[in-house]
A and B are shown apart, each in its own frame.
Chain A
């Protein structure tokens, strides 16, 4: 392992914050400079960070934490500043690094009202620090801090730059997440106080790797279930899982375009990442018992989100609801507690980030031109702005899980993994989920294609037929979208770019008893909760 690169993740995390601090010192009137700094910081960080990670990261050993840095932080509660990255976090960090500069570019010449690029860009940079920090944190308190850091800038972004109902939406977003956070920190503290090593000595640690090794060994069943439940609330609200999703459509609908993009592309993944980094590795036994319920909420989310989409009259709200459905697939993969499922989830997170990001971008651009997102009033986008129309068509195809594009690799393997969930998880139940999820793919095609038909096909409505404002995508829009479009295709054709990286890390994060069979299982002396339900072949 290379110990010379321990500075890297801290630089990656805090550079945006430094950029934000610098921008605070510059007068608001100097807009061009603000834009330049924001782009330089986020874009430079993307170029440098991606290059450095792709060259220095040991992909043959992507199961191991790399670029580690571990130092004292809050001694009184034995919380440490530990950062590291493995194959599970790497794709998400790269996604974050990519999305932020694209958002800056997209905003370049049309900042949402009330403009003020300085504040807007500062918030984006603070967000970036929070998001990257969450993905690299290897200490529960550190994770929690970053998880919360993300909350405030997004709150402001919605509350200040949002739509007409922004106050309500932002508050709802804030309180909902905060509620989950409270339970989550509670769960973290319980771990701190309850974890004991085999000899009965209290661990008193927030170190995620240490706790993973401990694996909930000395917890009583009910304590494990409760603690997992606390984390479930914290992460599940963020995902969001049915029935805690109602903040999402409002937040998305009211948020400015860039806010929606970041929210969909990265913020939701903080929740799913929490599950696969913290909840499941640390408490595998509780996870086994929770799995059928998580799976249930996931498939309800898939169908419910899709039906919700069908009822929408607003394009952006429809896309927001589609996130509920798509994240349902991700959660279904996670709930199987198998490498296959969680790999699919990691892929699904990235794919959803890219695809839904594009969808929100296009929706934002439609709004800029038509000043409405009411589906009934739209139509004929392909005639008025053909390239935008094609991009929308491409994005809907990607979103409905078309093979050959990224969305497929989050969806199909997740459905597949539900056929054969981990030891101790009921096959019958999950096979039912599998079929329900497969039905969800039909509904997904339904709402997405109906959206496409009503907005892009047909003739433009009279209202907008001769509107000079309706022009095709601008240069800034192309630059902001192109990388995402290309990645959707590239990842669709070369899924191993993510799978090969995430697979060893996912495998390492899962308790061996979850997948062991036969003699291996006996040799591991697994607790009863993993009782193997013999695979039906």
Chain B
């Protein structure tokens, strides 16, 4: 890079703020390729897909494989950049030649000191911060000011790039068999591509307005894919519900981003907003209001109470879509946004040093209340959906208590095991042509051994059993609450004891409802045959192309379905090891600790708060595990012992005890009803709010329009017409006909005959109008 181009670049880029650079490895500066490739793939599939031998799936898979490769390269490049960027800069400072790669806008001495500020958690590692890599171009201008579109790549972004591309790849492969023969196979793959593009755009967004754009685009893809089988009304209803609920949250998104825009001196720049928020340059009040507004968006997108109701309904979409969009990636967009604007939330909610704040509270309520709802679902996907809501609650709670890395780590591990669970459920449903565990499943372990094993592994990860992935991330969240002072663990950012209790309780719930799912699906006897007549009614559409052989015994599927399952199970087993807590291993292996934290947390960057990190505690880990296992044990006792025994005694495959506790005790019965009715939130939204707006309110407004406003206008009009009938007829009969004649038109309907051109009348009309107006003007002047 020559000096002149360097200067040009510098002039274009403006002064660098600490924590980011406009230089860096090529791939990190050009991550815009990642959204671009699937976007092009979307267009290619849409316009040419149907003509191709594999109906467009090949384009989708090619594109997603290529971006997976790019994402991996980006991660590797990031690891190098993360560790070595500062030393390159040091050389720079020492007056050595700039290497091409790091030829950059020099960051002067002062920001350096910021960058080098304390980095408590790293325990002696190279004590320098993370430096994000940016790139930008002008998007639009207003008021003489230019607004940028660009990419912001740091650990958070590259981590997410990998998650999205990886899960997307597996889902693409899985789908080739799962939706084979679907009536809109090509469109399905087109929208998978568009979704991937939108999600990647969201991940690399450097500005809030770009973030909003991607946020809405993923919403549309979600809408299109939930409503994939729009012939049936319930599906299009679910799609609409998803979109509209998200739109409600988007009010908060728009207003929150607008407040931040003006608070940070008219900028959409995420880094600048964060930096200013953390530097105390934005009034606390603005930050708090903005953070509350943005929380509404998080609640809708990431399914937090009370705007979560669309997510279980979204299961109307094809199952691979549920795995990709409604479990692993899109629904974590809200969590991702909190992490992206963490400076705003951290200061806005005073996360540091407080015992409670709205975000942590919302997360905690969500993880418990959604966990409870999972118990009364018969549809396996709905259980998983509520489980997703619950796990999203964990993530939000983690961010709410200041445990940024724990929250992101849970997002990371959850993506793999939850995608594995959804695809596993899809695999089962693909065999039995139903999602109903009670009617159409049972004993599946015998028919589908691979699915069974992978499902169990992913469940272990979800429940948080040592050493599966979920154990590590959930434990880290619990540690991060800083509420475990009692047994030697030390605090994080505040004393969030309540969240600790909620989190541990949630683990028990998770264990219990997942045990129920395992029993109902994989144990007992296969119940499908007895209910075969209902088949067409309560089936999803996974079986659209398979109705022909609906009578077959369920069987395991081909590699397109099993390989993704096995890979995800592998990740669910091992991926937790990327962030072993400090002190867990010693000696030569010590450098394997906290890799996730080290590479992905933007520590010591000025746009990221200096958060404290809790110290892990063995007692806490053991205690939480015991509570989780207690949940598993209780459910195990109920299903595997009581229900199983009763089943054998009665000679049929039961799903519940005939006289279970919920039918015996009034209070439990009431609780059960409350859960079955989903806390009546759907009634409130669909019937009261939406119904009220669509029905009475809209009708009242329209009545007003027709009978008050319009009637007034008509009245005035009629009066004038009567008063000026002569004039009116004059115009109508002469001017209009005149003009018609002028054009030589004879319209048989209007019955106008050819006459001589009389264009003089138009001038006459203009003259009247003008004279009248002049007269009125005279009056006006006189009055004034």
Contacts and interface: CB of A to CB of B under 8 A. Distances in A.
A160 B750 contact: yes
A113 B747 CA distance: 10
B251 A439 contact: yes
B140 A457 contact: no
A185 B142 contact: no
Nearest to A220: B784
B717 A175 contact: yes
A382 B239 CA distance: 16
A193 B781 contact: yes
B550 interface: no
Interface stretch (A39-47, A65-73, A208-216, A401-409): A401-409
Contacts of B694: 310, 446, 450
Given A182-B776, A403-B212, A156 B739 contact: yes
A308 B701 CA distance: 6
Interface in B122-175: 138-144
B243 interface: yes
A94 interface: no
B136 to A, nearest CB: 14
A114 B144 contact: no
Nearest to B735: A152
Given A310-B694, A458-B236, A176 B250 contact: no
Contacts of B140: 409, 495-496, 499-500
B585 interface: no
Given A246-B709, A419-B262, A186 B780 contact: yes
A415 B142 contact: no
A292 B220 CA distance: 35
B243 A445 contact: yes
By secondary structure, the B interface counts as: helix
B743 A339 contact: no
A160 B236 CA distance: 40
Contacts of A307: 693, 697-698, 701-702
A503 interface: yes
B227 interface: yes
Interface in A336-365: 338-340, 343-344
A175 B724 CA distance: 12
Contact of B745 (A119, A383, A458): A119
Interface in B739-780: 739-740, 742-750, 766, 769-770, 772-774, 776-777, 780
A453 B780 CA distance: 53
Interface in A294-329: 304, 307-312
Given A403-B216, A442-B248, A189 B777 contact: yes
Contacts of B236: 453, 457-458
Contact of B258 (A119, A172, A434): A434
A445 B582 CA distance: 49
A186 B240 contact: no
Given A116-B745, A116-B747, A537-B283, A446 B699 contact: no
B262 A186 contact: no
A339 B143 contact: yes
Contacts of B214: 403
Contacts of A20: 743
B263 interface: yes
A535 B264 CA distance: 12
A247 B748 CA distance: 27
A302 to B, nearest CB: 12
A185 B693 contact: no
Contact of B139 (A310, A312, A458, A495): A495
A376 B291 CA distance: 42
B707 to A, nearest CB: 11
Contacts of A156: 736, 739-740
User: Which of B261, B693, B742 has the largest count of A CB atoms less than 10 A from its CB?
Assistant: B693
A412 B212 contact: yes
Contact of B693 (A222, A310, A420): A310
A190 B777 contact: yes
Interface string A479-496: 000000000000000011
A531 interface: no
A448 B684 CA distance: 22
A189 B143 contact: no
B444 interface: no
B142 A186 contact: no
A462 to B, nearest CB: 15
B778 to A, nearest CB: 8
Contacts of B243: 445, 449
Contact of B247 (A122, A442, A500): A442
Interface residues of A, number: 89
Given A119-B745, A304-B701, A383-B231, A340 B244 contact: no
Contacts of B232: 458
By secondary structure, the A interface counts as: helix
Interface string A6-36: 0000000000000010001000100000000
B705 interface: yes
Contacts of B766: 145, 148
B259 A24 contact: no
B258 A246 contact: no
A176 B141 CA distance: 37
A385 interface: no
Contacts of B240: 449-450, 453
B51 interface: no
Contacts of B776: 182, 186
B622 interface: no
B684 to A, nearest CB: 16
A399 interface: no
A441 interface: yes
A121 B747 CA distance: 14
A446 B251 CA distance: 14
B213 A408 contact: yes
Contacts of B772: 182
Contact of A441 (B215, B250, B258, B699): B250
B483 to A, nearest CB: 36
User: Which of B237, B286, B743, B766 has the largest count of A CB atoms less than 10 A from its CB?
Assistant: B743
A20 B702 CA distance: 41
B254 A185 contact: no
B255 A435 contact: yes
B282 interface: yes
Interface in B181-234: 209, 212-217, 220, 223, 227, 230-233
Interface in A176-193: 176, 181-182, 185-186, 189-190, 193
Contacts of B662: none
A536 B285 CA distance: 11
A225 to B, nearest CB: 11
Given A193-B781, A499-B142, A438 B701 contact: no
User: Which of B213, B214, B215 has the largest count of A CB atoms less than 10 A from its CB?
Assistant: B213
A438 B227 CA distance: 25
Contact of B220 (A145, A186, A380, A397): A397
A367 B619 CA distance: 72
B144 A189 contact: no
A416 interface: yes
B710 interface: yes
Nearest to A437: B254
A54 interface: no
Given A415-B254, A496-B141, A537-B283, 8 more contacts: A20-B743, A160-B749, A186-B777, A190-B777, A380-B231, A404-B216, A446-B694, A535-B262
Nearest first, the 7 closest Cβ-Cβ pairs linking A and B are: A403-B213, A310-B698, A311-B702, A189-B777, A119-B745, A339-B143, A457-B230
Interface of A: 20, 24, 28, 113-114, 116, 118-119, 122-123, 145, 148, 152, 156, 159-160, 171-172, 175-176, 181-182, 185-186, 189-190, 193-194, 220, 222-223, 226, 243, 246-247, 304, 307-312, 338-340, 343-344, 380, 382-383, 397, 402-404, 408-409, 412-413, 415-416, 419-420, 434-435, 438-439, 441-443, 445-446, 449-450, 453, 456-459, 495-496, 499-500, 503-504, 507, 515, 535-537
17 contacts: A24-B742, A24-B744, A28-B744, A118-B743, A160-B747, A185-B770, A186-B777, A246-B713, A310-B697, A310-B698, A442-B244, A442-B250, A446-B690, A456-B230, A458-B231, A495-B140, A507-B143
